[in-house]
Structure 1
Amino acid sequence: MESNLESNLESNLESNLESNLESNLESNVESNLES
C-alpha cells in the first residue's frame, strides 16, 4: 500500500507540474504576441 507521504508527494508533484505548464504556456504566448 502506498503511504500517505508517497501519495501526497505524487499529487503535489502532479499539481505543481500542471500549474507550471499552464503558467509557462501563458507566459510564452504573451511573449510571442509581444514580439
Structure 2
Amino acid sequence: MFKQSVLDYFQANGKKGYQSRINAVLESYVQAQKKLQQE
C-alpha cells in the first residue's frame, strides 16, 4: 500500500507506533485540505 521508502522513514523512528505516526500525518493533511476548500 505504501512505498517502502515511506515505511522505512517512519519505522526509522521506532517500529512501535509508526502506523499511528503515518495516520497523524495523513489526518493533518486531510484537515488542511478541508480548510483550504472552505476558503
Q: Same fold (TM over 0.5)?
A: yes
2:24 to 17, 20, 25: 20
Identify unmatched segments of 5+ residues in structure 2.
Answer: 1-13
Count of aligned pairs between the two proteins: 26
TM-score scaled by length of structure 2: 0.54
Q: Radius of gyration: which is bigger?
A: 1
Identity %: 0
Q: Which has the higher contact order (CA 8 A, sep 6+)?
A: 2
TM-score scaled by length of structure 1: 0.58
Displacement over 6 Å in runs of 4+:
none
